[in-house]
Structure 1
Amino acid sequence: MEIEIKIRLPSEQDTIKLEDALGGHPSSTENQDNVFFDGVHKELIKSKLVFRIRIIEKSSKEPIAVVALKGNAVLVDGIAHVEEEEEQIDIETARRIITNPNLISEEAKNHRLLQKIVDRVPCNDGYAQMGRFRNVRNKYPWKEYVVEVDRTTYPHGSCYEVEIESTDPVKAKEQMTHLLQEHGIAFGNSQKNKFENMIYGTLD
């Protein structure tokens, strides 16, 4: 179970102010290409499951790809709970699947998590992309946390978000809220996760 706080920032200006408050120099930056898949009859989403392949690029490093299966996501008062399983996948295999989702069943024979996805919810008539968005993630060490500052670009617009994974999300949220207020940074609770914003065409 992944537990994290999700705080929405209204603008690039507020995002820059927060990054300055966090020290201004991220420990790492990830350029993420997030691609989502389902059966052609929406078999996975009907089972409250989300299947994603993420390609991650970091400066001076070879890109990597990660398969994720998420389920039963709940977001209340800026605190998200989601069942999540992730596993790295060969980058060329990931790119082939993105180009042709109907390769998923064939490629699953050589990948544990892909095979689990195929077996858990059969999609006998094939697969298709559900949607896609890009995200730039800056990571900052702060107190006992790693603060992730996201700039997400959808076909319908952009949004800004702060995420902190923690086993004590209430404490983490209180501390981050105090920092934002101390520096006069506007913020609010995220109302939807990134996948929902992609699906519904929102920026909440």
Structure 2
Amino acid sequence: MEIEIKIRLPSEEDTTKLEQVFGGTPFVSENQDNFFFEGVHKELIKSQLVFRIRVIEMSGREPVAIAALKGNAVLIDGIAKVEEEEEVINIDIARRIIEDPNLIPQAAESHRLLKKIVERIPCNDGYIHLGRFKNVRHKYHWQDYVVEVDRTTYPHGTAYEVEIESTDPEKAKERL
């Protein structure tokens, strides 16, 4: 179970000000490209599941891809709780799936999480792209937390958000 505080920020200016409070220079900066997949007949959504492949690029490193299955998400007063499972996926396989989602069952033969998805929710008529967004994530050490500040680009504009994962989200939210 992933538990995190999620707070929307109103603007780039407010986001930059908050980053200055955290020290100004992130210890990690990631460019993320997020791809969402679904069965042709919306099988995953009907089961309240989300399947994503995230490609992460960081300066001076090879790109990394992570497959994620999320379900039963609840967001109350800025505290998000979601069942989440993540697993690294070979970048070349991830890119092939991004190009052709119908390769998911074939890739599942050698990937534990993909196999779980295919077995749990069969999408017998195939898979489709559900959507995509890009994100720049800056990570900061602040007090006892790792704080993630996101700038997420959608076709309609940019959203700003700060996230902190915590086993005691009320305490983390109060400190933030």
- Are residue 169 (structure 1) and residue 158 (structure 2) matched? no
Q: TM-score, normalised by structure 2?
A: 0.99
- Aligned: 1:46 with 2:56: no
| Percent of aligned pairs sharing the same letter | 73
SS class of match (1:167): coil
Letter in 2 for 1:19: E
Aligned partner of 2:126 in structure 1 is 126
Deviation at 1:140, TM superposition (A): 0.3
1:14 corresponding residue in structure 2: 14
Between structures 1 and 2, the one with greater helix share: 1
Letter in 2 for 1:83: E
The whole-number CA distance in structure 1 between the counterparts of 2:136 and 2:46 is: 29
What's the CA shift for 1:153?
0.3
Q: How does 1:149-168 map to 2 (within 5 A)?
A: 149-168=149-168
Matching residue's letter, 1:2: E
Shift of 1:156: 1.5
Superposed displacement of residue 86, structure 1: 0.4
Query: Which residue identity lines up with residue 49 of structure 2 in the other structure?
Result: L
User: What residue in structure 2 maps to residue 84 of structure 1?
Assistant: 84
Tell me the residue number matched to 1:108: 108
Gaps of 5+ in 2: none
Provide the residue aligned with 2:2 in structure 1: 2
Q: Which residue of 2 is the match for residue 64 of structure 1? A: 64
Q: Which 4+ runs in 1 deviate beyond 3 A? A: none
Unaligned runs of 5+ residues in structure 1 are: 177-204
Inter-partner Cα distance in structure 1 for 2:21 and 2:164: 16
User: Alignment partner of 1:41: what SS?
Assistant: coil
The structure richer in strand per residue is 2
- SS of the residue 1:110 aligns to: coil
- How many Å apart are 1:155 and its aligned residue? 1.1
Partner Cα distance (1:12, 1:3) in 2 = 25
Give the distance between the partners of 1:139 and 1:110, measured in 2 at CA: 32
Q: How far off its partner does 1:127 sit? A: 0.0
User: Secondary structure of 1:45's partner?
Assistant: helix
- In structure 2, the partner of 1:144 is 144
**Other-structure match for 1:23:** 23
Tell me the amino acid that sits aligned with residue 153 of structure 1.
T
